[in-house]
Structures are given as structure tokens and as C-alpha cells.
Amino acid sequence: MGFLSWLGLSRKRTNSVSQFRDDESGSSTASPAGEFAVDEYRPMKVVCIGAGYSGIIAGIRFSQKVPNLDLKIYEKAAGIGGTWWTNKYPGLMCDTPSHCYQLTFEEHSQWSSFYTPGSEILAYLHRVVEKYKLMRYIRLQHELVHARWDGPSGKWHLRIRRGDTGEEFDDTTDVLFLGTGSLSRPCWPDIPGLGDFKGRVVHSGKWDIPDDDLKDWADKRVGVIGNGASGIQIVSALQSQVGTLTNFVRQKQWIAETFSATKILELMGRAPGSIDFSITDAERERFKDPAFYKEFRHNLENSLNSVSRMTIRGSEAQKAVAAMCKEDMINRLAKKPELIDKILPEFSVCCRRLTPGPGYLEALCADNATLEVTPISKITSTGVTLSDDTHHPLDVLICATGFDTTYKQPFPIIGRDGRMLNDRWADWAEAYMSMAVDGFPNLFFGTGPNSFVNAAGSLLIIMERQVAYAVSAVLKMQRERLRSMQVKAEALRDWREYMDAFFPKMVYTESCNSWHKNVEGKIVGLWPGTCLHAVRTLANPRWEDYTYTSLDKTGNRLYWLGDGQTHNEKTMTGDRAWYLDDEEVDFPPVPEDASA
């Protein structure tokens, strides 16, 4: 009996198996048993684009998990940190509690506040990069110009431009991991006359005004366009430092109490209702106790993951949170009750991203602040003109107008048969389980389409699991000597159908604008489920939803079993009882009594 028939496979049958049926694969009469050990892992190259949170996690996990790896992380900016490098506006902070906005494996207990200023998050990321020596892999000021899939070699061909010298060079990689995020390309408002304004104009996502300059703003007339998270934080931070402040908004907005605030106060034994979230020296001392820190964080994340039911349309949880927010907002607007109708939305809480705005409503109630809801018709050399011809003269105009959230890449990504990713996404951006797109083999996304969660849960745990998914895929390719893996179009179709069935039940699809949606109202930003749902789903990749091509020419899917040995046996080097190491042994729990 031949080897193949012993495996229950004939050559003819193997070649017709869809797993390896691909025009990039070939077959020959070579022996189906390779001349290598089963764990003699082939060299793999992974290139990650972006050194924000996704790229940093990727740097840590790929280098930890994948043997025989060549890893590069190209970052176009001059520093690491992604969104925390780009955004520098006054009042920048993370509205997820600090203790939940950090990596699961890299705890930091010494935050200055329960809601971390952006500069501290950036400092945290610098420490992580330093600790895991990631600058070995990171190339700053290196921008991807284009990426092109080459089927015969099974590699992505990349063109990279150095930001400092302008020089361009080529690179290739087996696997491309795009950690470019979706909130990285600031979007200027399409308002006529923006270029005519003679005062100072700045975008929140391209803040280039030194802190020292703000000291001279005490008599300046400042306009802020937008009431997303950035606009809200900027208004809160600047109102008391400027002459007058006008916030131009075109949509109402729910303003929540800070996320998990009640839980934080309860866990810290603080008085309910307190709004000062700075952490005292004594509290920071308490956090030095690992047991206290761990229990605090666990409780807080447990609480953060307990509110997702409010995102279901018409749910009791939604009604309760709406009533709570409404009461809180009305109280906070007591000084200017005329603002209530201008701010309090008709749509459900979380239709737009729920944004905690400590200090925002209070700032709008100040004597020097105005909330302007009449639409802007144009910008002139002196300020903003509204559709009723009212003119607001301004010295400074801040566009907190968000980001290009179409997921369209600023560089061509050319997949199989010359197809461009942006064309594939012409109608809307989609990726199977947020990770992969048919026609684009060996390409995985960090925070790709449908990655985010609204107010419940932490994005970072999703990012970690997305990287883990990509790492598992790379390990599979390496172990099984696969040249390429590509998600099946029908798997993406099923994912799409699942999302189409899921989202109408949720508040996100109500009538409101948000960066979660594309212009037709399709949800492209949010994971179709809860944060924990994403975590569980990504932990169990369905490898049968991919097609593969093999590096070998035998057409035998088990060629990678090699010569029947492991490397340590073959070379008589290393440990040959490694399975007894503590980290390898899976110790089962012992029932406490025989009847249990």
C-alpha cells in the first residue's frame, strides 16, 4: 500500500480537494514525505504597518510566539503610539477607565487619574516598547507606498518611503498585518470658505499649537466645530482659558457620566457623586499592592462588560440609561435650561458613540460659552456664518470634525488578479470577523472594519485577540508549510448576513450620524456583538473558512509531517522531554471530594 493510499488519499482525489485547489498551487510526483522534521519551522516574515496599540501588541506577540521569524513594523510617524501620538489637543484623555485601558499582560498601577490623560498613555506605550525591545523591529518615518500580492512567490511586495530622506525601497513579506487603525486620518469639514479664514485654524487630530500659545488666548474668540469625543474634551478644557467659546454642532449628543464612575467610587470607598477623578498619593500607594490592584481592575472590567444590554433597541437597560443620562444632563444644565432641547437627543443612548464629557455641560453653561445649533453655511475670512446669516467673528477655529472612517487605505493594496482593496470596498468596508478579505491572501487587520465596541467593554482586549488570531494563522502557515491562505468569499457573505441580521436590533441603526456607519447607514465600525462576544469568537478561528495553497508540489495536504521526527530527535540537541515542563503540562483540577 502506498503512502497516499494508506492515508486514504489518492493523487487524483488530493488534487480535487478544494483546500489546495488554487491556480497558484502546483503538483508533481515528488515524495509526499518531506525531508524535514515536523517542527523544523520554515522562516516566516511578517510586516506590520503602524506602531500604535495594534502594532505594538503585534510586535510583542509575533516575536514571542512565532519561531524563526523576521519581523518589521513600519510606522509613518516620527514616534510610536498611533492615535496617542497623533492626537495632542488640550484635554485629550481616554474616556475608558485607565485601569481597563491597558494591556492584559502589562499592568500599570500608578495612573494620575481614573481617566488617563493622553500623554500618560503615550508614556505607558513608550515603556512597553522599551521593555519588550520593540525598537528592534520598528522603523519610524517609514510609510507604506503600496503593497502588491505576488501569487507565484506567495509574498506581498511592498514599497516603503522614508519620511526623513524621501528615499524609497522595496521589501517583501509572507504576511502583512495592517495595524493602521481607522481613526488616524483627520477629516476637515466640507464647509465652503474654510481656506479663507484669516485667523488660526487647526484640526483636533493635527494639533500643532504649543501649550505656551494657549496662555495668550485669554481674550481670544474661539470656535469649536463638532461634539464628538474630541470636540467635547476640547470645549471642556478650553472654555475657562479663552475669551469666548462657541461650539458649533449639527447633531444632538448624549453626555454620560464618566464610564464606570459609580463603580470606581464604590470600589475606592469615595463619596457617591464625586466628579474629581484624580488619584491621590494614598490611593496610588494602595494600588502598589498587587492583590488590591488586580481585584480593583477585575471588578471594574466586570462592570464595564455588564452594560452591553443598553445597546439593544427598546431594552429595559436602554430605557434606564436614557432616563439616568437625561436626569443627569438636565441637572448639569440647570444654569442654562434653554440648552436642554438643543442637546438632549431623540435617538437612543449609544446610537452615536456614547461620550462621557466631564466638564462639558458645565463649560457650555459658562457665561463666555455659546452652543450654536443653527447649521453653518460658510466660513469667511473673519469667522463662521450660519444659515440664518448670523456671523460669529473668531480668532481661532478648531475643527474637531473627526476622521476618515471609510477604512479606505491611503495607499494601494493590490490583491489577487490586480484587484485593489479600496475597489473591493467601494460600497462599504468589510472583513471576515474583522480580520481578512477574500482576494487578499496573507493579509490580516488589526482594528479593521467592524472591530470597535461602543460604550461597553475595552477595545484593547479586542485588539489583543485580533493579534492572537493573526498569530495563529501565521503559525498554521508556518507549521503546515502553506504558501497562502485566503478567506472564502462565501464565509465573508455569511459574516455579512450575520451582521445584517444582528444590527437592526441594535440602537446603532437608529437615525443618527456616527463614525460607526458609512453614509448609507451600514455599520462598518462596530463588532456585531458584545466585547466579550468578540473575544470568544476570535479565540476560535474557523480555519475551514479559508482556502490554502501549499509551498510543496506534492498536492498532499500532510506533506508537512515531514520525515516522522522532531527537530530535537533528529539533531539530538535540546530537550526531548519538554512536554514535562510546567508550562506544557495541563494540570487538571482535583475534585475536593470523591462525590463531587
Which residue blocks in 333-359 are alpha helix, DSSP H?
Answer: 340-343
Contact with ligand NA7 (CB under 6 A) among 35, 170, 190, 586: 190
**CB closer to ligand NA7, 240 vs 513:** 513
Buried b (16+ CB within 10 A) or exposed e, 303-319: bbbebbebbeeebeebe
Cα radius of gyration rounded to whole Å, the chain: 27
Query: Which residue in 480, 473, 545, 542 sits closest to 65, CA to CA?
Result: 473
226 sits near ligand NA7 (criterion: CB under 6 A) = yes
Contact with ligand NA7 (CB under 6 A) among 54, 102, 109, 204: 204
Contact window for ligand NA7 (CB under 6 A) among 173-181, 212-220, 223-231, 309-317: 223-231
Taking the C-alpha atoms of residue 240 and residue 162, their distance in angstroms, rounded to an integer, is 42
Cα 535 to chain center, whole Å? 13
145 to 184: interface string for ligand NA7, x by CB under 6 A? --------------------------------------x-
Window 499-528: residues binding ligand NA7 (CB under 6 A): 513, 515
Window 434-473: residues binding ligand NA7 (CB under 6 A): none
Hey, what's the torsion of the CAs at 536, 537, 538, 540, to 10 degrees?
A: 90
81 sits near ligand NA7 (criterion: CB under 6 A) = no
What is the smallest separation between the CB atom of 596 and ligand NA7, expressed in angstroms? 46
What is the smallest separation between the CB atom of 514 and ligand NA7, expressed in angstroms? 7
| Phi and psi angles of residue 139, each rounded to the nearest 5 degrees, phi first | -120, 110
| Phi and psi angles of residue 223, each rounded to the nearest 5 degrees, phi first | -110, 140
373 to 412: interface string for ligand NA7, x by CB under 6 A? ---x-----------------------xxx----------
Contact with ligand NA7 (CB under 6 A) among 37, 73, 191, 421: 191
What is the smallest separation between the CB atom of 232 and ligand NA7, expressed in angstroms? 7
**CB closer to ligand NA7, 225 vs 491:** 225
Contact with ligand NA7 (CB under 6 A) among 69, 229, 349, 369: 229
Which residues, at least 6 apart from 287, have a Cβ–Cβ distance to it below 8 Å?
A: 109, 110, 279, 293, 296
Residue count of the chain, please give it. Answer: 596
251 sits near ligand NA7 (criterion: CB under 6 A) = yes
Taking the C-alpha atoms of residue 592 and residue 130, their distance in angstroms, rounded to an integer, is 45
239 neighbors 368 (Cβ within 8 angstroms): yes
Q: Where in 345-480 does DSSP place strands (E)?
A: 355-356, 369-372, 376-379, 383-386, 391-393, 396-399, 413-414, 443-445
Closest CB to ligand NA7 belongs to which residue?
228
**CB closer to ligand NA7, 34 vs 181:** 181
117 sits near ligand NA7 (criterion: CB under 6 A) = no
**CB closer to ligand NA7, 95 vs 438:** 95
Which residues, at least 6 apart from 301, have a Cβ–Cβ distance to it below 8 Å?
A: 99, 100, 458
91 sits near ligand NA7 (criterion: CB under 6 A) = no
End-to-end CA distance of the chain: 50
By the criterion CB under 6 A, which residues form the site for ligand NA7?
A: 183, 189-191, 204, 225-231, 249-251, 353, 376, 400-402, 513, 515
